[in-house]
Chain A
Amino acid sequence: MNAPDRNPRRAFIAAAGAGVAGLGFTAIAPGLHLMAVASEANAAARPAGTAASPAVRWGLLIDATKCAPGCTKCIDACHTENGVNEKLPDARQASQWIRKIELVDRRNGKKTELPMMCQHCAKPPCVDVCPTGASMKRADGIVLVDRHTCIGCRYCMMACPYKARSLVHVPLTEQNPEVPRGQGCVESCTLCVHRVDKGQIPACVESCPEGAMIFGDLNDPSSAIAKRIASVPTTQVRSDLRLNQAVRYQGI
């Protein structure tokens, strides 16, 4: 019900590869790479009854140079997958688990676009400030909100350096059965934890027609994401805060 149709994406990659020469070639190679990552994650599916392992640290690598201007496929895929679809009269009150940021370098006018979401910090300020411990980090590094104990105080929203969190401002009824979310609780990107636990990759990564996102285990030196990080310069946003995020960017 929720996964976007995959065929148009493949068609897009093929068209991009065939049509737009330079850009197309850079897009198709990571596209193939993406398939490899997907199967790798599938192989790592955790058996039922076992807990998330601290040996694993799930992460994302986003190549901003490949992020196509105006494209919102990852946002649409995320919000479809997670049932984030409520329309509010004041858009500032609606939840956004992931958003597209357009950057213009003040020094030279260079334009960049990239998707921004919960950065899944190793030392998350939201977890530090939460009075009830509802804001939590799983053993494998995924930062989540336990909505059973979230009281909706919004202190985590004040503390997050990335503006990654939203408060659900209205009663909800059409949640995805696998993604519970509700009024009065704070929420953010879960790194598609319900998919990752099944051995799938996050919806945003799967949806990216440019193959600009890689998902995988940062702790496994043989994983595609770890290899890429070891070979090309990547950055963590606001690295001055020393929060050691699991989401890294390339090309900013």
Chain B
Amino acid sequence: MKLLRLVATLLFAAVAVLPAPTFAGGGGRTPKPVVSIENPGKCVAPAEEMRRNHMEMLKHQRDRTLRQGIRGEPASLNACIECHASKRTGSVLGGKDNFCESCHSYVAVKLDCFECHQPKAKFKAAGLKP
């Protein structure tokens, strides 16, 4: 029973500590994401829709492309990267200023795309070793 009490105490402690950063979000302890659109007005959908649905669009496109072989769809991750990669670093990842990473680190949503996909745009990636 001692063990149970110990486990319960630990659980309570964990629950009490974990949400702290979320509460602090409004107060400004966590910096707001910096989203700079370097090529405005060319997106496949209005910004409002992209913010809400980009993950669904990418998911459906990825299944159609990979499983059915449909190419040239508007919602393409490579097309996102070409437009949104930082002009300075050539990537959508790397820091708080980079397009994908800025929001995803702010909302603490794991970004799994780039475990496999290349986060650098071709205009930069072309200069790298193959």
Contacts and interface: CB of A to CB of B under 8 A. Distances in A.
Interface of A: 1-2, 46, 48-52, 80, 83, 85, 136, 138-140, 144, 146-148, 171-172, 174-178, 180-185, 193, 197-198
B62 interface: yes
Contacts of A52: 68-69
Contact of A176 (B69, B72, B118): B118
Interface stretch (B2-10, B20-28, B47-55, B120-128): B120-128
Contacts of B129: 174
A84 to B, nearest CB: 10
A2 B118 CA distance: 15
A181 B68 CA distance: 19
Given A46-B69, A83-B130, A144-B66, 13 more contacts: A1-B126, A2-B130, A48-B71, A49-B72, A51-B64, A85-B130, A138-B68, A171-B115, A175-B118, A176-B130, A177-B118, A182-B115, A182-B117
B130 A180 contact: no
A181 B116 CA distance: 4
Interface of B: 62-64, 66-73, 78, 81, 115-118, 120, 122, 125-126, 128-130
A185 B62 CA distance: 17
Given A183-B115, A185-B116, A174 B69 contact: no
Contacts of B115: 171, 182-184
B71 A46 contact: yes
Contact of A177 (B69, B71, B78): B78
Contacts of A180: 116-118
A234 to B, nearest CB: 26
Nearest to B59: A148
B122 A175 contact: no
A203 B116 CA distance: 21
Nearest to B69: A52
Contacts of A2: 130
Nearest to B114: A182
B64 to A, nearest CB: 8
A147 B130 contact: no
A174 B69 CA distance: 24
In the complex, which of the residues B70, B122, B126 has the most CB atoms of chain A within 10 Å of its own CB atom? B70
A133 to B, nearest CB: 10
B88 to A, nearest CB: 18
Contacts of A139: 68-69
Contact of B68 (A51, A80, A182): A51
22 contacts: A48-B71, A49-B70, A49-B72, A52-B68, A83-B130, A85-B130, A136-B67, A139-B68, A139-B69, A140-B69, A148-B62, A148-B63, A174-B118, A174-B130, A175-B116, A177-B81, A177-B117, A180-B116, A180-B117, A181-B116, A182-B116, A183-B115
